[in-house]
Amino acid sequence: MSVLVVGVSHKTAPVPVLERLTLDADGLDKLLHALSTAEHVVEATVLATCNRVEIYAEVNRFHGSVESVSRMLCALPEQGPTSPDEPWGAEALAASEEIVPHLYVHYDDGAVSHLFNVVSGLDSMVVGESQILGQTRNALRLGQEAGTVGPALNELFQQALRVGKRVHAETDIDHAAPSLVSVALERAAAHVGAVRGKRVVVIGAGSMAGLAVATLTRLGAADVVVASRTLANAEHLADLYAARAVPLPEVDIEIGTADVLVSCTGATGVVLPLSRIVAARAADPERTLAVVDLALPHDVDPAVARLPGIALVDLASLAEQLNEDPDAGDVAAVREVVAQEIAAFLAARHAASVTPTLVALRTMATGVVDAEMARLLQRLPELEPRQRAEVEHAVRRVADKLLHQPTVRVKELANETGAVSYATALAELFSLDPDAVEAVTRPEEV
């Protein structure tokens, strides 16, 4: 079995393409269910954030699984096939042609390396950001709850989460790498001035909105208003930071007197159309306002950027700025930690891959010794118990010595690059029973 990653991110696709692949909770459930029925896919989960959608799968065949997994990912924008065998419609085919050029594929060792880099923040829009750690944890939880994550992906993701925690515990990346919210607010400040003393409206009550309110409070915003479709959620977030909460339908009044508007909901459509912004600002249509849209797909109609007094900061513009300096922050220590963890995990993984063959080899040797001892005792029944024990001990020592060097070398060679499967070669040389090898890792029947 091997790990496969098929995905698209801010590094390979423009924001409009990422917006088309946005998944809500129902969409994630449907995708996980479809993946569970895909041919060659044994386990699967999805890592979906505002700037990436990645499918992680444990597969038993490379080419067939790449085709089926890619097919389902490309079908997302047009509600296409829910299984790899369902025929494509014209809209799904058009979506596929748009998305395929932006896909990337990582396999086996490359998939492990990619996930460890992702969870450490090295592949993020803002290098070193910590939100990806929680998003990776959520991807594991979703797969576990859906029953699509088994031992292979569970081990991989658990280790990835440990790597992410180690990165933040042992390096200064938390201080060196700003959050996406911080970068966006810096851009907003260039238009309206420092956040301190300003009036700010935050639409949304999720993790991104929470980070925004926390950052605004730390920067000294004079008045922070939180609005959400669910007033209770807005009130809970507002209470944490001594902010005010209002129902979403009443937010227009607050927008009319705000200096900064931050929107980061989980909606699948535009929350603030151009007409609503114009109406909210009717009393003072040229008032300076920085609109920070951190949602994917976007919450605010991009046309607001043409209104007088308004500056729009969205993910597309942030991606352009951040991609100019992908190594922003002190990430050298993070890269070193990640490289160590990748090497250690792969070494352990490769060593474990030959364990079934080595167990089968030792089992075969034990069987040979037992058979030869039984034959010897039939020929020499007069041997005393002490003599039998000495002979058996000597024979087993000979078998152990003969197997020691091949066992050590196979473990060493398992970590070397190349196309040779030394475990397979060992099984062929000693004519090991394939069923005996498989039985070592086969789960016990309940």
Strands 199-203 and 223-228: parallel
Q: Which residues contact 104 (CB under 8 A, 6 or more apart)?
A: 5, 6, 7, 8, 9, 12
> Do the beta carbons of residue 196 and residue 172 sit within 8 Å?
no
Structure tokens at 388: 């039998």
Give dist(CA 435, CA 422) in Å, integer.
18
Q: How many CB atoms lie within 10 A of CB 73?
A: 24
Place of tokens 């007094």: 309
How many angstroms from the chain centroid is the CA of residue 29? 16
Structure tokens at 12: 């390979």
Q: Residue 267 — φ and ψ, nearest 5°?
A: -70, 155
Known active-site residue 74: no
Dihedral, 29, 31, 34, 35 alpha carbons, nearest 10? -110
Catalytic residue among 28, 32, 48, 50: 50
* Contacts within 8 Å (CB) and 24+ apart, 94-98: 95/20, 96/71, 98/17, 98/20
Q: Which residues contact 431 (CB under 8 A, 6 or more apart)?
A: none
Which residues are identified as catalytic?
50
